[in-house]
Amino acid sequence: MDRIGFVGLGRMGEGMASSLRRKGFELTVFDLQEAPLLKLEKLGAKRAASFADLVRCSDVILTVLPGSAEVELAVLGPDGILANGRPGLIYMDHSTVDPLTTDRLSAALAAKGMSMVDSPIGRLASHAARGECLFMVGASEADFARVKPLLQAMGTTIHHCGQVGHGIRTKLVNNYLSVVSCQMNAEVLTLANAYGLDLETTLDVIHGTSATNGQLKMNFATKVLVGDTEPGFSVDLAHKDLTLIVNSANANKVALPIAAVARESLSMARSTPYHAMDFSALLDFWCERAGLKKVRFKTQGKN
């Protein structure tokens, strides 16, 4: 069985790594935060003294990192995979990064006899904690077969989207629709609030016509509309992803004017305490700016 290294034990990564240990995988972990390391050690994971140490004792390395700069450092840095890895090693990145970063790193690893799998995540930290992630995977057939047992241990839905780089590109397409829908829903319900409309009746109408959308029906109904703005996916992360989307589209000479406008709308929320809240809290942000009360279900928990 492959020896697994896991780096990045934030809210998503901790749940994913815990799932691997519960399924019996030999796991070495590394993070800058002490608390998640202690939790994983209690589950039987080994703690690496450094990232370089983790690379040297792993056959497959998984990362869940904040962005492109951190992923590049993991591969290209002095303690990174290129400097300390060996032929046959697979690097599987679950971060949301610039697709061109994935392309560059994959090529650099291939030149050293190593390979890369990009496997961004399509669900929330609560899903990760239950081993219910969705993965969008870019990989060769051989690499996909090798990492599939790991993905099955951490998730319930796995899409092999194509070659390396197709996973992250699929994630950006998905998140474009998700984040822009969230901004649109915030505006829609702010307008309904200004009109003095009944929330439940308005949603019944929307969900019964072609105007319905998953963000409004699922995420809003279980987050902001019941008063829960703890970040499952924060405004900061939504803004980061929209920035990646706009920049990547520009690199491919594709105009996304709606995405550009939505990103600047999120920029306004990022300059306030809303930056760290769930992105469904954009509804509260826009109601506040309009001088309106927050929109909530009359009966908490209704959806």
Which pLDDT score, from 0 to 100, does residue 123 have?
87
Which pLDDT score, from 0 to 100, does residue 303 have?
46
CATH of the domain at 119: 3.40.50.720
Residue 300 lies in a domain: no
Do residues 188 and 44 both lie within one domain? Answer: no
Is residue 179 predicted with pLDDT exceeding 60?
yes
Residue 135 lies in a domain: yes
Whole-Å CA distances, 133 to 48, 124, 191, 299: 25, 8, 34, 30
Which pLDDT score, from 0 to 100, does residue 124 have?
84
- pLDDT (mean) for 70-79: 97
The per-residue pLDDT for range 49-63, each reduced to its tens digit, is: 999 999 999 999 999
Do residues 18 and 156 both lie within one domain? Answer: yes
Do residues 140 and 8 both lie within one domain? Answer: yes
Q: Name the domain boundary from 110, 141, 164.
A: 164
Q: What is the mean pLDDT of the chain?
A: 96
pLDDT bin (cut points 50, 70, 90) of residue 125 is confident
Sequence letter at residue 231 = P
Quote the domain boundaries for residue 132.
4-164
Distance in angstroms between the alpha carbons of the first and the last residue of the chain:
44
Do residues 149 and 176 both lie within one domain? Answer: no
Do residues 185 and 130 both lie within one domain? Answer: no
Residue 201 lies in a domain: yes
* Helix/strand/coil (H/E/C) assignment for every residue in 33-46: CHHHHHHHHHCCCE
214: helix, coil or strand?
helix
The per-residue pLDDT for range 7-45, each reduced to its tens digit, is: 999 999 999 999 999 999 999 999 999 999 999 999 999
Q: Which long-range contacts (CB under 8 A, 24 or more apart) does 253-259 make?
A: 256/176, 258/180, 259/176, 259/180
Do residues 152 and 198 both lie within one domain? Answer: no
- Residues 6 or more apart whose Cβ sits within 8 Å of residue 195: none
> Residue 217 and residue 207: Cα distance in Å, rounded?
7
Which pLDDT score, from 0 to 100, does residue 185 have?
96
Cβ atoms of residues 233 and 266 within 8 Å: no
Q: How many CB atoms lie within 10 A of CB 250?
A: 12
240 noted as active-site residue? no
Which pLDDT score, from 0 to 100, does residue 300 have?
57
- pLDDT (mean) for 141-149: 98
Which residue out of 42, 46, 148, 171 is catalytically annotated?
171
Do residues 138 and 180 both lie within one domain? Answer: no
Spell out a b/e string for 202-230, using b for 16 or more CB atoms within 10 Å of the CB, else e.
Answer: bbeebeeeeeebebbeebbbebbbbeebe
Residue 220 lies in a domain: yes
- Residues 6 or more apart whose Cβ sits within 8 Å of residue 96: 67, 120, 168, 171, 172, 175, 237, 240, 241, 244
**Which of 49-53, 60-64, 141-145, 213-217 is predicted with the least confidence, judged by mean pLDDT?**
213-217
**Closest-CA residue to 272 (of 215, 299, 234):** 234
- pLDDT (mean) for 265-281: 96
> Residue 72 and residue 260: Cα distance in Å, rounded?
26
DSSP state for residue 137 in the 8-state scheme: E
**Token reading at 13:** 């990564």
> Residue 152 and residue 173: Cα distance in Å, rounded?
23
Is residue 101 predicted with pLDDT exceeding 70?
yes
Please give the tally of structural domains in the chain.
2
Give the percent of the chain with pLDDT over 90.
Answer: 93
- pLDDT (mean) for 111-135: 95
**Closest-CA residue to 18 (of 34, 29, 3, 32):** 29
Decide which of 281 and 219 is more confident: 281
Do residues 125 and 266 both lie within one domain? Answer: no
**Token reading at 57:** 């004792």
Do residues 155 and 213 both lie within one domain? Answer: no
Q: How many CB atoms lie within 10 A of CB 237?
A: 20
